[in-house]
């Protein structure tokens, strides 16, 4: 926001003037320069309009007039007898300059506060967390004003640079403190390790455990009051906890696990807390009754001394009530914390139980499937072996007995007789008779048919093979159907088991 303006104006004699106004935000003073046209050149006008308004120095000619006035919203800025051609610009500048002056005062107050912090930081010999927090709070206030645009950018940048410088000085002091703290923590770590090493030797030598246990309790107390880095504290605690467990194990034997679950332990703690809350509320109620009683007595007291005593007693009772209310508030916070924690633990246990039930159901179903498949396979194997045995026990018939198995008919017997008779007459006659020839022609094809019949299995053997094949095929199909049926039953059991688990979980 500009603090200088240049306007054309005139005086009482209507003489043309060049009017320049400049604001000093620190003193809240406005300086007014008036230049008659006799000394105003074109170059000078351009310099005033472009350079002087931007804050650069301009050499002013002789013959100008200078006036000073305090900035105010009610009064005018121009001297008497002078007016400008554009009064609206002057009015707007007067309003804006009020904000400029107030913003400068705000910046000055921040500078004053920062100077005080700077002086205090210079006097520090070691890091002070309180001053660090004060500086953070100070910068938060500055940022709030910057966000609200109550400070100009140059003001904010100036304050930022100064504040960062103070932060760097504090960080340097904190670094030294951290190094000292780390060195101190290492020394404490070495001291505690020496104590614990001596105790571990005593435990190995089999010395009396009761004094060792008391010594560990004292070390634990000192441990709580000693400053460590996070890593060093963890190292000491792990070693101390291990020593405690070793002593307890030697005194009482190995712990077989607590019979109470985490939910049970939280429930017992919660019940004890509820009981304590009830007692605290009753105690506060009694104090309120005592306070009311004292109030009634003080209104009817005989003398000033008695009234003063009762007022002192009322103060004591009020202080007790205040203290007890604070403790009661802490108890209620702990109550809510325990309720949330119990809810989380219950969900964890329910999830674990549900997972265990599901795994048990899966194992049962797997075992059932394996048993059913094994049983079905054994049953089918026995049936197949029986059917195969029937086939292997059937004896094979020789090929040359095929003729004996052929059916015997009267025609075939007659043909055989004729053939015998004709074989004796072949030597006396060159040509057989027509009848004999006919008989011979009828018998020969039958013999050839009998001798050339293909070798193979008889009807009974073929029917047995077909039966065996059919039985094996049916057995295989039955076995596949059995496996499918088992799988279907198992699937139904899995779904039923899962539904039972979910229903059981919802009931719990």
Question: pTM to 2 decimals?
Answer: 0.41
Report pLDDT digits (tens) over 304-336.
Answer: 766 777 787 788 888 889 989 999 999 999 999
Per the domain annotation, does 166 fall within a domain? no
Q: Flag whether 33 is in a domain.
A: yes
Residue in 469, 415, 470, 421 with CA at minimum distance from that of residue 440 = 415
What local confidence, expressed as pLDDT, does residue 259 receive?
56
Q: What is the distance between the alpha carbons of residues 68 and 251, in angstroms, rounded to a whole number?
A: 95
Q: What is the pLDDT of residue 78?
A: 86
* pLDDT value at residue 447: 40
Is residue 467, in this structure, part of any structural domain at all?
no
Token duo for residue 281: 């509320």
Q: Classify residue 22: in a domain, yes or no.
A: yes
In angstroms, the CA 289 to CA 28 distance is 63
If you average pLDDT over every residue of the chain, what do you get? 77
Residue holding tokens 């910068």?
A: 139
pLDDT at position 363 is 85
Residue 292 dihedral angles phi and psi, to the nearest 5°: -65, -40
Average pLDDT over residues 347-364: 86
| Gyration radius of the chain's alpha carbons | 59
Domain count along the chain: 1
Q: Would residue 73 count as lying in a domain?
A: yes
The model's pLDDT over 140-199, given as tens digits with 9 standing for 90+, comes to 999 988 888 888 888 899 999 999 999 999 999 988 888 888 988 999 999 999 999 999
97 falls within a domain: yes
List all residues 6 or more positions away from 248 whose beta carbon is below 8 Å from its beta carbon. Answer: 255
Structural domain including 20 reads 4-104
pLDDT of residue 449 exceeding 60: no
In a domain, 17, yes or no: yes
Burial 328-338 (b: 16+ CB within 10 A, else e): beeeeeeeeeb
pLDDT value of residue 402 = 40
Tokens describing residue 440 = 């011979």
Q: Is residue 99 a contact partner of residue 16, using CB atoms and an 8 Å limit? A: no
pLDDT tens-place string over residues 414-426: 444 444 444 444 4
Mean pLDDT of 492-501: 61
- The counts of H helices and E strands in the chain are 12, 5
pLDDT digits (tens, 9 = 90+) for 122-132: 998 888 889 99
Residue 14, domain member (yes or no): yes
Question: What's the DSSP call for residue 54?
Answer: G
Question: Region 297-303: what's the mean pLDDT?
Answer: 71
């Amino acid at each position: 926001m500009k603090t200088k303006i240049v306007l054309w104006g005139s005086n009482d004699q209507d003489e043309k003037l060049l009017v320049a106004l400049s604001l000093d935000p620190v003193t809240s003073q406005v300086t007014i320069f008036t230049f008659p046209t006799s000394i105003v050149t074109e170059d000078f006008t351009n310099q005033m309009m472009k350079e002087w308004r931007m804050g650069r120095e301009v050499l002013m000619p002789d013959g100008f007039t200078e006036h000073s006035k305090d900035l105010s919203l009610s009064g005018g800025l121009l001297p008497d007898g002078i007016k400008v051609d554009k009064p609206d610009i002057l009015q707007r500048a007067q309003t804006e300059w009020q904000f400029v002056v107030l913003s400068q005062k705000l910046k000055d107050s921040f500078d004053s506060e920062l100077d005080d912090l700077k002086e205090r930081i210079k006097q520090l010999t070691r890091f002070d967390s309180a001053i660090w927090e004060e500086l953070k709070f100070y910068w938060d206030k500055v940022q709030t004003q910057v966000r609200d645009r109550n400070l100009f950018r140059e003001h904010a940048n100036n304050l930022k640079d100064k504040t960062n410088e103070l932060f760097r000085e504090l960080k340097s002091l904190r670094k030294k403190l951290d190094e000292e703290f780390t060195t101190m923590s290492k020394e404490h770590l070495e001291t505690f390790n020496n104590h614990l090493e001596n105790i571990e030797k005593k435990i190995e030598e089999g010395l009396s455990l009761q004094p060792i246990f008391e010594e560990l309790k004292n070390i634990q107390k000192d441990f709580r009051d000693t400053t460590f880095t996070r890593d060093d504290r963890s190292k000491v605690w792990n070693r101390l906890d291990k020593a405690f467990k070793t002593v307890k194990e030697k005194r009482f034997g190995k712990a077989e696990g607590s019979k109470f679950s985490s939910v049970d332990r939280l429930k017992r703690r919660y019940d004890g807390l509820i009981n304590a809350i009830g007692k605290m509320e009753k105690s506060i109620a009694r104090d309120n009754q005592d306070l009311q009683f004292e109030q009634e007595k003080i209104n009817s007291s005989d003398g000033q001394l008695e009234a003063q005593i009762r007022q002192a007693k009322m103060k004591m009772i009020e202080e007790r009530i205040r203290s007890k209310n604070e403790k009661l508030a802490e108890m209620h916070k702990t109550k809510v914390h325990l309720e949330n924690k119990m809810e989380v633990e219950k969900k964890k246990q329910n999830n674990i139980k549900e997972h265990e039930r599901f795994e048990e159901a899966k194992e049962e179903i797997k075992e059932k499937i394996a048993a059913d498949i094994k049983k079905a396979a054994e049953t089918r194997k026995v049936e197949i072996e029986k059917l195969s045995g029937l086939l292997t026990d059937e004896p094979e018939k020789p090929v040359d007995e095929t003729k004996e198995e052929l059916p015997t008919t009267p025609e075939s017997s007659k043909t055989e007789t004729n053939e015998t008779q004709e074989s004796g007459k072949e030597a006396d006659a060159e040509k057989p008779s027509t009848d004999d020839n006919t008989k011979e022609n009828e018998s020969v094809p039958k013999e050839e048919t009998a001798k050339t019949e293909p070798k193979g299995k008889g009807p009974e053997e073929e029917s047995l093979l077909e039966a065996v094949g059919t039985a094996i095929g049916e057995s295989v199909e039955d076995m596949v159907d059995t496996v499918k049926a088992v799988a279907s039953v198992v699937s139904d059991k899995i779904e039923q088991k899962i539904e039972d688990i979910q229903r059981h979980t919802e009931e719990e």
